[in-house]
């Protein structure tokens, strides 16, 4: 049985709480600019956004996710949300908005959600680079693949992987030019 770490338990909750404050802030700004009051529709939109966000698993920020991929997935969920809200509005509410108002509202919401997700990804990378949410790796094989993997792990600490050296199947390699920690033979690991 795989026990969940503290990070795996708390991160989704903290992520969605942060997203809640972002959408609440953007809603308040939109209401202020349009001189309207809070209504049940605002609560419906916020609840529907959380449903879409959970459906698209937006809290699952993998190790080494590129900003381009994060922007693409964020826009996919935002376009799905916007399209669904437009269809729901046409079918049930038939509310009409001024073009300028809806453009500012959508632009603000898109900008704030995208900024929040990019910021969380950046903070998560820094957290892993400085020792949080680490996965220790065992590299087996003193060849070009093992050395490349070891060097990649050292080169990108923000991915959260750590390796103390390389295990081999034979004795220490004869080449003195190889500069890496040799941890011993794999057969001797259990001793």
Pick from 164, 134, 160: which is nearest to 150 by CA? 164
- Specify the pLDDT at position 169: 80
Is residue 46 predicted with pLDDT exceeding 70? yes
Quickly count: other Cβ atoms within 10 Å of residue 185's Cβ. Answer: 14
pLDDT digits (tens, 9 = 90+) for 144-181: 888 888 888 888 887 778 888 888 887 777 666 567 78
pLDDT given for residue 112 in this prediction: 92
Statement: residue 48 has pLDDT above 80: yes
Q: What is the pTM of this model?
A: 0.72
User: For the chain, which residues make up each domain, given as ranges?
Assistant: 6-129, 135-188
Residue 65 burial class via C-beta count within 10 angstroms: exposed 0-12, middle 13-18, buried 19 and up: middle
* Least confident piece of the model among 33-37, 54-58, 70-74: 33-37
pLDDT reported for residue 57:
82
Instruction: Find the helix or strand (DSSP H, E) in which 3 lies.
Output: none
Listed in sequence order, the residues at least 6 apart from 53 whose beta carbon sits closer than 8 Å to its beta carbon are 16, 19, 59, 77
- Return the higher-pLDDT residue of 96 and 24: 24
Quick one: what percent of the chain has pLDDT higher than 90?
Answer: 5
């Amino acid at each position: 049985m795989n026990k969940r770490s503290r990070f795996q338990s708390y991160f989704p909750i903290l992520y969605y709480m942060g997203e809640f404050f972002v959408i609440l802030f953007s809603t308040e700004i939109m209401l202020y600019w349009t001189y309207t009051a809070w209504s049940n529709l605002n609560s419906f939109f916020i609840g529907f956004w959380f449903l879409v966000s959970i459906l698209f698993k937006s809290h699952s920020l993998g190790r080494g996710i590129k900003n381009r991929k994060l922007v693409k997935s964020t826009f996919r969920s935002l376009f799905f949300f916007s399209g669904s809200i437009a269809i729901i509005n046409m079918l049930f509410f038939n509310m009409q908005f001024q073009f300028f108002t809806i453009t500012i509202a959508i632009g603000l919401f898109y900008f704030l959600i995208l900024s929040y997700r990019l910021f969380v990804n950046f903070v998560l990378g820094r957290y892993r680079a400085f020792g949080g949410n680490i996965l220790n790796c065992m590299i087996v094989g003193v060849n070009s693949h093992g050395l490349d993997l070891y060097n990649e792990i050292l080169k990108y600490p923000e991915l959260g992987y750590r390796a103390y050296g390389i295990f081999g199947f034979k004795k220490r390699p004869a080449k003195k030019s190889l500069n890496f920690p040799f941890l011993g033979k794999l057969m001797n690991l259990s001793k």
